[in-house]
Amino acid sequence: MDLTGKVALVTGGAGGIGAATARRLAKLGAKVVIVDLDEAGAVRTAAELNGLAIAGDVTDPETMPAAVKQIEEELGRLDVVHLNAGLGGGQKGLDDALDVARYRRLVGVNVDHVVYGTCAAVPALRRAGGGQIVITASLAGLAAMPNDPLYTLTKHAVVGYARAAGAALAKDNITVTALCPGFVDTLLLGQAKEEFDAVAFPLLTPEDIAEALQSVLTDGNPGEAWIIQPGGQAGPYKFRGVPGAAGQVPPDVQLGRV
């Protein structure tokens, strides 16, 4: 695909998955904007790509609207948005030992930022005649992770939001999709990286996610959640329809198909 003349926004683009997708978008011809709390990292990645760096905390409801405003003022338009910033849970959240501050931070980055980013981007995408929003979710958005229920909670929320937003915004020529990768070799793994290495557990690379992002931008449909696993081809998850009244099974509530 050719993104020449297009402008792409990537949150959490200072490193890891975000930096890899930013590089892929730039390679495809887009002018890339990096939004990250890590100002030095954002500047470094943006400079590499001849892009724009914006420092900011994505959990602040003012950050994404301000970023989109700056992008339109300086670059004239917005076409692709990758809402990628994310945190690991770090606690189970199953008893009175809950660290409320850490929990609120987790929800702020993994859920609130997706809502803030979408709400800020949609008017700009409409002004550009349409565009695409891709949200980094996780396999934990499709299946339970008993060792990290709070992370599972946030990623299930993100997948549900992407499915509903995809259906709602399709009429505006705005495609919303979610990426649901398995374990990716980034700093987010923390100490678990040693455990995976010890048993030769296959991990995805950030570049695998960047490749999947390109596939979603090319072939994705509104509301899809794409699974990405090592050695496999990324593709949309097939959701089942829900039972209807008197045992009738209606079309999938997401997009009118099962």
Catalytic (active-site) positions: 151
* Sheet of strand 131-136: strand arrangement: 52-55, 31-36, 7-11, 80-83, 131-136, 174-181, 225-228, 235-236
Number of helices (H), then strands (E), in the chain = 8, 8
Which residues, 6+ apart, have CB-to-CB distance to 216 below 8 Å?
Answer: 132, 134, 177, 179, 224, 226, 234
Rounded Cα distance between 251 and 6, Å, is: 36
8-state DSSP, 12: T
Asked whether the beta carbons of 170 and 222 are under 8 A apart, the reply is yes
For residue 15, what are the β-bridge partners? none
Rounded Cα distance between 155 and 54, Å, is: 25
